[in-house]
């Protein structure tokens, strides 16, 4: 793909060359060299980076390879619309635009960003969904062959995108979140799933980036990112970004204050075991919030409760939760010694989970024993983790390790607890209701998976705090849209008798991208072919059909024709 502006031909001694083909002079760059032992010399790896200008031999029209190898060079801000691709992909754009309008997101963003910046903001959100990427340097490639939200469908360069990220203020971001949450129905009782993750970042001048408990690359600093997700209406509510050294358990109380500030009163919170602490439970009680929280089955007060009730529900058909192939029962008990309230402990057992966990325990014991056997007769220091499961015998004189014996009671107790887990709720409910509520947080976990894997946001590619905050802001709006796509596709699959593999978000986007308009000799864009049966299934999930796509394609064609004429007149 060749861009529609000229840049100066790079001056890199020994690496820039030219060749002519068909009357056009191309500029190529030596990206590297490969040594061939049989020939005993290096062969250069040539990459074409552009076409030499017809009017100035020091200038060229760059392509995507130029962006790859010389991405740090400042490019012109604007690309003329008339030189956009002759093939425009419209399917995913139409779905994304429909969801944006359904949530009234363009209207909210215009209020805080202005018309011009709102268009670019929405294009960047759409780009991250469709291209599964957040790198500004590749945005022009996406814009080249997609409809855009920008005024006149102008295609901005990556340098403009970087400038835009640096210009977004905290007031704009906070204003959007305030209005987005003010539009939610605060009268209904909802449960909010709250979870967090962290992301690597190599930029050293971003204040919130610190070394912490990295989930990806342990050697890189991180920042933390959390989302509050409405499990009832199935949509993200707000997000937080905070320094990488802050642990989840200490951030929860700040999130609860934020939820209160957004007007959420009649709510409960679904939390993972990482947020479990006496202080957090007391703070939620103080705020009047209900909670559903997973607790570790191996904690002594939970394991004792499980062993106390073992055999009372595991084979009872009344306790069977068929949807999850699990059995459950509920008992009332204080959560800790000084607790002034009785909580509802929901105990669960799964045969499948029991078999898997006991197999893991046995395998772990075998690995530990083999390791201990390899240390016999040596003067070594053995970790505390081994002492939990083994009696370690050593010479008193010099500490030489002799042998290890299993602590059978400890291992048998752990195997007895295999397949069991517990959920604690502050509100009275059945074990089935508690499990369904906790399972509803799967959607928020998929948000994080989608954010890192399908929005290209495993790490931030920025060099300032302002740009980092702006990129996370764009990412959150993209998550709102992608989450809606996920739930609508999931609902459609539930209505269908079959479960086709193209009804996932990534597969659906790939299929929708095949709905294209091509430019004819008269300069007008027209649909290349009719909508396929597979595409109709996907469009039905978003309440669209072939007729609606054809109508909107004609409207887009009129808009593109109008913008291209205006560009030619301005020239």
SS3 content of the chain, % helix, strand, coil (to 5): 45, 25, 30
* pLDDT lower than 50: segments of the chain: 78-81, 202-210, 212-214, 244, 454-457
Residue 204: the pLDDT is 45
CA angle at 103 for the pair 99 and 107, rounded to the nearest 5°: 110
Distance, C-alpha 252 to centroid of its chain: 20
pLDDT confidence of residue 456: 46
* pLDDT for the residue numbered 568: 58
Residues 6+ apart with CB under 8 A from 444: 193, 194, 195, 227, 229, 231
Q: Report the phi/psi class of residue 30: left, alpha or beta, with left for phi > 0 and alpha for psi in -120 to 50.
A: beta
CA–CA gap between residue 191 and residue 111 (Å, rounded): 29
Indicate the helix (H) or strand (E) that contains 500. Answer: none
DSSP codes of every residue in 396-429: TTT--EEEEEE-HHHHHHHHHTTTEEEEEESS--
Average pLDDT for the chain: 84
Question: CA angle, corner 135, sides to 132 and 138, nearest 5?
Answer: 85
The 3-class secondary structure across 141-163, one letter per residue, is HHHHCCCCCCHHHCEECHHHHHH
418 vs 421: CA distance, rounded Å: 9
pLDDT reported for residue 550? 95
For helices 442-449 and 465-495, angle between their N-to-C axes, nearest 10 degrees: 130
* pLDDT of 203: 47
Cβ pair 456, 128 in contact under 8 A: yes
Predicted confidence at residue 463, as pLDDT, reads 56
- Please spell the DSSP secondary structure of 262-285, one letter per residue: TT--SEEEEE-GGG--HHHHHHHH
CB 15 within 8 A of CB 29: yes
Category of 161 on φ-ψ map: left (φ > 0), alpha (ψ -120 to 50) or beta: alpha
pLDDT value of position 221: 59
Element of type H or E holding 15? none
Comparing CA positions, the residue from 187, 186, 427, 441 lying closest to residue 285 is 427
HSE at residue 388, side-chain half, CA atoms within 13 A, is 10
Domain segments of the chain as ranges: 7-73, 187-346+421-468, 353-416
Is the distance from CB of 527 to CB of 489 less than 8 angstroms? no
pTM: 0.70
Q: Do residues 303 and 421 lie in contact, with contact meaning Cβ atoms separated by under 8 Å?
A: no
Residue 296, C-beta contacts closer than 8 angstroms, at least 6 positions apart: 273, 276, 302
Name the CA radius of gyration of the chain, rounded: 30
Classify 187-346+421-468 by CATH class: alpha beta
Question: For residues 330 and 305, what is the distance between their CA atoms, to the nearest angstrom?
Answer: 11
- Residue from 434, 473, 474, 482 nearest 454 by CA: 482
């Amino acid at each position: 793909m060749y861009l529609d502006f000229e840049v100066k031909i790079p001056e890199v001694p020994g690496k820039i060359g030219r060749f002519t083909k068909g009357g056009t002079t191309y500029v190529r760059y030596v990206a590297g060299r490969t040594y061939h032992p049989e020939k005993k010399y290096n062969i250069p790896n040539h990459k074409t980076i552009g076409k030499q200008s017809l009017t100035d031999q020091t200038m060229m029209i760059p392509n995507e390879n130029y962006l790859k190898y010389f991405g740090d060079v400042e490019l012109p801000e604007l690309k003329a619309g008339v030189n956009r691709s002759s093939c425009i992909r419209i399917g995913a754009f139409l779905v994304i635009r429909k969801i944006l309008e359904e949530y009234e997101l363009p209207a909210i963003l215009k209020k805080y960003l202005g018309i011009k910046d709102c268009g670019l903001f929405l294009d960047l959100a759409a780009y991250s969904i469709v291209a599964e990427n957040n790198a500004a340097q590749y945005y022009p490639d996406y814009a080249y062959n997609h409809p855009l939200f920008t005024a006149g469908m102008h295609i901005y360069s990556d340098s403009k995108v970087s400038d835009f990220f640096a210009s977004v203020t905290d007031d704009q971001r906070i204003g959007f979140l305030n209005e987005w949450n003010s539009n939610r129905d605060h009268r209904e009782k909802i449960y909010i799933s709250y979870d967090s993750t962290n992301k690597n970042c190599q930029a050293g001048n971003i204040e919130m980036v610190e070394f912490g408990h990295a989930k990806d690359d342990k050697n890189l600093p991180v920042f933390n990112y959390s989302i509050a997700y409405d499990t009832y209406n199935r949509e993200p509510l707000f997000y937080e970004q905070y320094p990488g050294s802050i642990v989840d358990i200490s951030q929860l109380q700040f999130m609860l204050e934020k939820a209160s500030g957004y007007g959420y009163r009649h709510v409960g919170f679904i939390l993972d075991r990482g947020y479990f602490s006496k202080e957090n439970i007391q703070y939620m009680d103080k705020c009047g919030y209900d909670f559903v929280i997973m607790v570790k089955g191996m904690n002594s007060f939970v394991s004792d409760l499980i062993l106390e009730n073992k055999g009372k529900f595991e084979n009872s058909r009344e306790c069977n939760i068929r949807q999850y192939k699990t059995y459950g029962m509920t008992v009332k008990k204080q959560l800790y010694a000084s607790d002034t309230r009785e909580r509802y402990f929901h105990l669960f057992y799964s045969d499948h989970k029991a078999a898997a966990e006991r197999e893991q325990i046995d395998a772990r014991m075998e690995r530990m024993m083999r390791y201990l056997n390899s240390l016999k007769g040596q003067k070594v220091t053995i970790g505390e983790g081994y002492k939990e499961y083994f009696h370690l015998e050593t010479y008193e004189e010099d500490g030489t390790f002799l042998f290890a014996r299993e602590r059978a009671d400890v291992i048998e107790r752990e195997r007895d607890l295999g397949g069991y887990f517990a959920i604690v709720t502050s509100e009275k409910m059945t074990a089935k209701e508690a499990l369904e509520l906790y399972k509803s947080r799967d959607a928020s976990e998929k948000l994080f998976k989608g954010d890192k894997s399908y929005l290209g946001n495993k790490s931030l590619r920025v060099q300032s705090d302002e740009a980092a905050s702006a990129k996370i802001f764009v990412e959150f709006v993209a998550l709102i849209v992608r989450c809606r796509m996920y739930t609508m596709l999931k609902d459609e699959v539930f209505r269908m008798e079959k479960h086709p593999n193209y009804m996932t978000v990534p597969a659906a986007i790939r299929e929708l991208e095949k709905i294209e308009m091509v430019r004819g000799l008269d300069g007008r864009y027209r649909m290349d072919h009719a909508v396929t049966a597979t595409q109709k299934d996907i469009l039905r999930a978003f309440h669209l059909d072939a007729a609606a796509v054809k109508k909107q394609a004609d409207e887009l064609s009129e808009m593109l024709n109008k913008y291209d004429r205006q560009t030619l007149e301005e020239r």
